[in-house]
Amino acid sequence: MRRFFALGAVLLLLATSATAAKIKFDIKHVEPLSWWVGMNTPLQLMINGDNISAFDVDITPKGQGVEVRAVHRADSPNYLFVDVAIADDAVAGRYKLCFTNGRHTYEYDYDIADREEGSRYRKSFTTADFVYLIMPDRFANGDPSNDSTDDTVEKVDRKKPGRRHGGDIQGIIDHLDYIADLGATAIWSTPLLLDDENGASYHGYSCSDYYRIDPRYGSNELFKSYVDECHKRDLKVIMDIVPNHSSTSHWWYDDQPFKDWTHQWDSYTQSNWTFSTNMDFNASKSDLYQMESGWFDRTMADMNLDNPYLLNYFKQWAIWWIEYSGLDGFRVDTYPYNEKMPMSEWCKAVMEEYPNFNIVGEVWTSSIPQLAYWQGGNNNKDGFNSHLKSIMDFPLHDAIRAAMAEGGDKGGWGSGMIRIYDVLSHDFVYHDLSNMMIMAGNHDTDRIGDVVEGDVRRMKIVAALLCTMRGMPQMLYGDELMFRSSDRSKGHPTLRIDFPGGWEGDEVSYFEESGRVGDAKDVYDYTRHLMNWRKSKDVIHNGRTLHFVDRDNTYAYFRYNDEEIVFVYVNNSAVERTIPWERYAEIAADIQVGTDVVSGEAVVMQGCKVAPASALIVEFKR
C-alpha cells in the first residue's frame, strides 16, 4: 500500500510539473514593448517580474535570425536585462521569450516587426518650420469620458488652475485644421506620458511610465493616430521628453533595478541649479555633483545616466517612440541637468539611427557662451561635444521681452530695441544659427500678452520678429490671440489657461472665425498672415542677416540671399519715425521700391514713415 501511494505521488508530481511547464508567467513589464528588423540600435530588454533573476532566458523560434546573446542580473532580484541580437535578414513576427529555472518554463510573446520603408531617413524640423507649443490639458477636451480614470490618482477639476482640466489628444486632433490654417508647420506638445502625481500632474514633467500615454490624454494607439493626422496636414510632431528625472510614482521607484538607478542622498537634496559647473574650469567637483545629481523636486527622482543599463534604456525608449509613432523630433527638458557625457552619447545614438532627426534642448540661461557650449559641434575648450543639434535661444527670448516692456518713452541707451541688437551681435559665438529655436514665451514664462500689457501694437511687433529673424520660431498656444494670464500673481497654472472653445459649453470659441473679435482678431489676423507668408520664404529660412545699430528704440535689419531681400524696421518708440534709407546703402543702394508684406502695397523707401509701436516688413526681388 505504501509503495502504491508513493508511486502515485510521484506520478502526480510529474503530471503537475508537465502542466506547469507551459503555463503563462506573470511578467509585469518588458521594455521596449516591441522592436524592429533593420535597426542600428542594439536591443536590450528590461524584464521585470517577481524573482525573475532566478530564471534564464531564451527566444524561439530558432533559426529566424533572432537570438539571446547575454543575460544580465541586476541588484534587485525582480529584474533581468537581456541582450537580443536581430540579424539584418531576420524574419519579422511574434517570438516567444522563454524563461526557465531548470524545472519550469514560462513564455512571453514579443513582437519584432518589419521597419517602415524610409524610416531611417525621416525628415525633421528645420528653419522652414514654425513650431506651435501646446499644453494638451489646456487646449481642448475631445473626449470627456477620460477626464478622470480609475487607474490614475488625480481627477479632473476645471475650477482650479493647478488641477486637471480635461484636455486630451483627441482635442488636439479635432483642432489640427486650426493649427495648420494658422500657418504652423510643427507641433510641440508638453509631455503626454503618464504622470500619476496626486497634484499638478497636468504638466506631465514627472513621468510615471515611459512607455504609456497618460490615459487621461488617450492611449499609445491614439497618439500614433495623432501623428498620422498631423502628417496628413503637413504638420510635424515634436515629442517633449524628460530623461533627467522621473516621478516618485513611477512603477519602478520602490524597487529599482540597481542601487544607483536614481541618485540617492541621506536626506532630500535639491539641485543647486548651477549648470555653469559643466564648463567652469574653477568649479568644485562637489558643486558639479550636486547640480547633476540633486533632485529637481521632491516628487522628481533624479535619474543616474552614468548607469549603463539606464542609459541603454533611455536610448531605446527614445528610438522606440520615433519608430512606433512616426515622430519628427524631440524637445529635451532641463537638458544641462543630465550627466553631460551620457547625454552626449544618447544624442549621438538617436542621430545614428535617424541621421536627419532634430533634437532641441532646453538650456535655460541668459549667458550666450554657456548656451553655445551645449550645441553639438561647438568648439569648446574642454573638447566636449554634446551632439545636441539644436538649442533654445533664451538670451534672445529675454531681450525680446525686455524690449517690449520698454516701449515708448521707456527705451533709451542700453534699453528697448538695442537689447535685441546686442544679443544678435553675439551670433559669432554659435556653431549653427539655423538650429536655434527662438521664442518670446513658452509654458514656463509669463504670457507675452501680459508683458506688453495687452498692447496690440507691440504684440504685432513680437509676431513680426518671430516670423523674420534667424532660427526656428516657436509660439505658445493662444499667443496668436494675445492670451493673458487669468491671474498673473498665481504663477504657472494661470498662464496655462484653457483655450476658449475647447470645452463643451464654452460661451465663445476662438477656434471659429466668428468667435474671434476685437483685439484677439486683430492680433490673430496679423500673425496668421505672417506665419503663412513665412512658409515659402527661403530668404527667411536660410538667408543671412545684416542689422544696423540705433539707440532711439528702433531696430532695422535685412534678411537676404542672392534672389531676395526682406527689410524689417521696428519702431518701438512713442513717436513716428522716418526710415533713414540712405544709411543702409551698403545693401539697399539699388532698391527703392518694395512690397509691404502685410498690406501687399508698393512702398517707396525714401522718406517712408513708420508709426509708433509698429513694424514694417518690406520684400524686394534682386
* All residues at 6 or more sequence positions from 529 whose CB lies less than 8 Å from its CB, including other chains: 598
Residues with Cβ < 8 Å from 537, sequence gap 6 or more? 564, 566
Please spell the DSSP secondary structure of 528-551, one letter per residue: HHHHHHHTT-HHHHH-EEEEE--S
- Quick check: 526 and 598 in contact, CB under 8 A? yes
Q: Burial letters for 28-65: b for 16+ Cβ neighbours within 10 Å, e otherwise?
A: ebbbbeebbbebebebbbbbbbeebbebebebeeeebe
CA angle, 339 then 212 then 299, to 5°: 50
Phi, psi of 387 (to 5 degrees): 60, 10
Asked whether 115 and 88 are in contact (CB, 8 A), the reply is no
Lookup: cell for 564: 531676395
- Name the grid cell of 87: 540579424
Sheet holding 614-621, edge to edge: 544-548, 554-560, 564-571, 614-621, 593-596, 602-604
CA distances from 248 to 77, 154, 410 (A): 20, 15, 47
**Which grid coordinates are listed for 396?**
534672445
Q: Does the active-site annotation cover 362?
A: yes
End-to-end CA distance of the chain: 109
The catalytic position among 197, 214, 292, 333 is 333
Name every residue whose Cβ is closer than 8 Å to that of residue 423 and which is 6 or more positions away in sequence.
368, 395, 396, 398, 399
Q: Which of 195, 362, 393, 619 is catalytic?
A: 362
Torsion of CA 162, 163, 165, 167, to 10 degrees: 90
- List the grid coordinates of 86: 536581430
C-alpha cell at 271: 539641485
The residues assigned a catalytic role are: 333, 362
